[in-house]
Amino acid sequence: MGGQRHDGAGGGGPRDTQPPWRSPGPPHSRPNAYRDLDTSRSVNACIFCRIVSGEVPSSKVFEDDHVVAFMDIAAVTEGHFLVIPRKHVETLYGLDSILAGHLMAVTTRLAKAAKKALRCDGMNLYQANEAAGGQEVPHLHLHVIPRYKGDSFGIRYNPTKPPREKLDEKAAKIRGAL
């Protein structure tokens, strides 16, 4: 999706919860090439489960008993890859802490390897949950996006300045749900 460059400087611009690298258009108005069937409930139809099983080809970066990493078929920068759990977990909400820890450990290791191998200038991790969060493939995945000076990757956002009371209120609300 088109958008402003994300330079980490906290600049302005319209917020957009869609994946920042998608082509312009209203949320989810585009045909979803990745869902050939209703994948949201069916593991057999899930494109990433089919990659895990080898039924669908992929360019693998890494695999172990719990995690698989492969190149993104629509790379937004050179070297963009995905890290996924082998088991079909749809979103972050369904991830247990042991698998979450392992997924993050593997991702960190792979990000370091990518930095070394690709000599990129920077690196982003991105992870989307649910349609409103911009998730298109309903099998949990972490995007590892190598960044290069002047590349076209961007995240659009529109920072606000909530008063401290509001921040405290939201923090307390989230704490209360732990």
List b or e across 139-149, with b for residues whose CB sees 16 or more CB atoms inside 10 angstroms. bbbbbbbbbee
Of the two residues 1 and 168, which places its CB atom closer to ligand AMP in the complex? Answer: 1
Residue 134 binds to ligand AMP (criterion: CB under 6 A): yes
Query: Do 140 and 84 meet the contact criterion of CB atoms below 8 Å apart?
Result: yes
Closest CA to 90 of 40, 50, 54, 56: 40
| Interface with Zn ion: number of residues (CB under 5 A) | 5
154 lines the binding site for ligand AMP (CB under 6 A): no
Q: Among 43, 45, 73, 92, which residue sits at the site for ligand AMP (rule: CB under 6 A)?
A: 73
Q: Does 81 bind Zn ion (CB under 5 A)?
A: no
Size of the site for ligand AMP (CB under 6 A): 14
Q: Rule CB under 5 A: is residue 46 a binding residue for Zn ion?
A: yes
Q: Which of Zn ion, ligand AMP, none binds 88 (CB below 5-8 Å, type-dependent)?
A: Zn ion
Q: Does the footprint of ligand AMP cover residue 1 (CB under 6 A)? A: no
Instruction: Kindly list the distances between the CA atom of residue 105 and the CA atoms of 33, 59, 129, in Å, as whole numbers in the listed order.
Output: 30, 21, 20
8 Å CB contact between 14 and 158: yes
Helix ranges restricted to H, 38-163: 47-53, 97-118
Q: Would residue 141 show up in a list of annotated catalytic residues for this protein?
A: yes
Q: Would you count residue 177 as binding ligand AMP (CB under 6 A)?
A: no
Residue 76 sits in the site that holds Zn ion (CB under 5 A): no
Among 26, 29, 31, 74, binds ligand AMP (CB under 6 A): 74
**What gap in Å lies between CA 154 and CA 172, rounded to an integer?**
32
Q: Shortest gap between Cβ of 141 and ligand AMP (angstroms)?
A: 6
